[in-house]
Structure 1
């Protein structure tokens, strides 16, 4: 049976490139996004790769659990999950000098909590099998101080350390966890489109999502590196 990768938060940039890269290696792909608006185009792009598409808000606990169950029932047992549900219309950026507890917590609720719930849902089965992989996309502000990313930085840092610690904790189990730490605008992605419409006060270069997906595959195949960094930020 082909292995299954669940791509949570798929978009026209990195998520689709991840699906395409793993599909080339014989994986069945299960793509999850908030709406099904672009699913037909995604399936067309991945023509030749067995592909299932699902509409679900993975920040909602019950919907995350339900979509994972559907993927398992329809596509097969999940070998790998990629978590990258960046949302250009999400909580937005507030300077830390004016961000209160509620603002900072909103970023945690949108970024960190869904990642932990995902692990809570899929890790027991992976540990029982002694195999599986967990890949997470996060922001460079989780590694370097970047004041211009304000209220997003604490959540980015928490996600990054969560994944790195998970990698260390899983080292002898056969299950792998890895972080893609990204600084820059990912070409073809929704955030790239939104940010190029207006001046957000900082300069960011662009990154090719196919290059990041190639590295994601290398992390998966090698299972030795806990993190890959992609830095196109002029400020870092």
Structure 2
């Protein structure tokens, strides 16, 4: 498949869990994959995994929470690898600022820190990725989100307002661009992603928590991409054990 006929997915904040599952799932449908993460330490392994499945990929090092770096790396991908059809944005972070602060103890600075680390980087991704999609009248944007943006989860404290803000931002964006041919959706995740770095950390600590198979999430994302009639999919293994 040539660069003029194939589609390209940019996986921003790529990791061994959902990021790689998204890369493989879309790659199986003929997409070329651009992997982007803060460092290139694991890129060789990621590309080897994809190559073993017959998937063409390239990798780029950039801080995907930095709007300027996101703009630059997406421009590089489009110039070197092909016009970007789909973006998946799902970097995971165990903490923002001083970490989780219970809401009864959270001041304005504690609530603002997750907004700066979660919501505003997503806005930067949209600012960089959306204009070419609108010019073409085609494209897709996927965002990984947290269940605390949908349901009250007091244990997540000051992370919950940011998760809720990101969820509503994506849903509102989806409604705003739908008639212009662009699809946007949030993958609202309640549980540990298997094979991901946070999952590995909990395993090492011997902490048993409910998990989600990232291949199942990526498969759902693919079907959402094709049907374009759902702006949100919820994956919840936490409510039943709460």
* TM category, shorter: over 0.9
Does 2:11 align with 1:4?
Answer: no
Indicate if the aligned counterparts of 1:176 and 1:223 stay in contact, CA closer than 8 A.
yes
CA distance in 1 between partners of 2:43 and 2:67 (Å): 22
Q: What runs of 5+ residues in structure 1 fail to find an aligned partner? A: none
CA distance in 2 between partners of 1:90 and 1:196 (Å): 22
CA distance in 1 between partners of 2:92 and 2:202 (Å): 13
- Could you say which residue in structure 1 is the equivalent of 2:90? 84
CA distance in 1 between partners of 2:131 and 2:158 (Å): 32
- Could you say which residue in structure 1 is the equivalent of 2:230? 225
- Classify the secondary structure of the residue corresponding to 2:23: helix
Does 2:63 align with 1:70?
Answer: no
- Could you say which residue in structure 2 is the equivalent of 1:57? 63
Q: Normalising by structure 2, what TM-score?
A: 0.92
- 1:197 shift after superposition: 3.9
- Classify the secondary structure of the residue corresponding to 1:46: helix
- 1:88 shift after superposition: 3.1
Deviates more, 1:160-169 or 1:226-235: 226-235
Q: What runs of 5+ residues in structure 2 fail to find an aligned partner? A: none
Q: How does 1:173-192 map to 2 (within 5 A)?
A: 173-192=180-199
Q: How does 1:1-236 map to 2 (within 5 A)?
A: 1-47=5-51, 48-88=54-94, 90-91=96-97, 92-198=99-205, 204-233=209-238, 234-235=240-241
- Classify the secondary structure of the residue corresponding to 1:97: helix
- 1:87 shift after superposition: 2.0
CA distance in 1 between partners of 2:103 and 2:201 (Å): 22
Instruction: Name the Cα RMSD after superposition.
Output: 1.5
- Classify the secondary structure of the residue corresponding to 1:170: helix
CA distance in 1 between partners of 2:129 and 2:13 (Å): 16
- 1:151 shift after superposition: 1.1
- 1:235 shift after superposition: 5.0
- 1:64 shift after superposition: 1.2
Deviates more, 1:188-197 or 1:217-226: 188-197
- Classify the secondary structure of the residue corresponding to 2:174: helix
- Classify the secondary structure of the residue corresponding to 1:88: coil
- Name the count of aligned residue pairs: 234
Indicate if the aligned counterparts of 2:66 and 2:124 stay in contact, CA closer than 8 A.
no
Indicate if the aligned counterparts of 1:4 and 1:78 stay in contact, CA closer than 8 A.
yes
- 1:212 shift after superposition: 0.3
- 1:196 shift after superposition: 3.4
- 1:195 shift after superposition: 3.0
Indicate if the aligned counterparts of 1:204 and 1:232 stay in contact, CA closer than 8 A.
no
Indicate if the aligned counterparts of 1:88 and 1:190 stay in contact, CA closer than 8 A.
no
Higher helix content, 1 or 2: 2
Deviates more, 1:163-172 or 1:8-17: 163-172
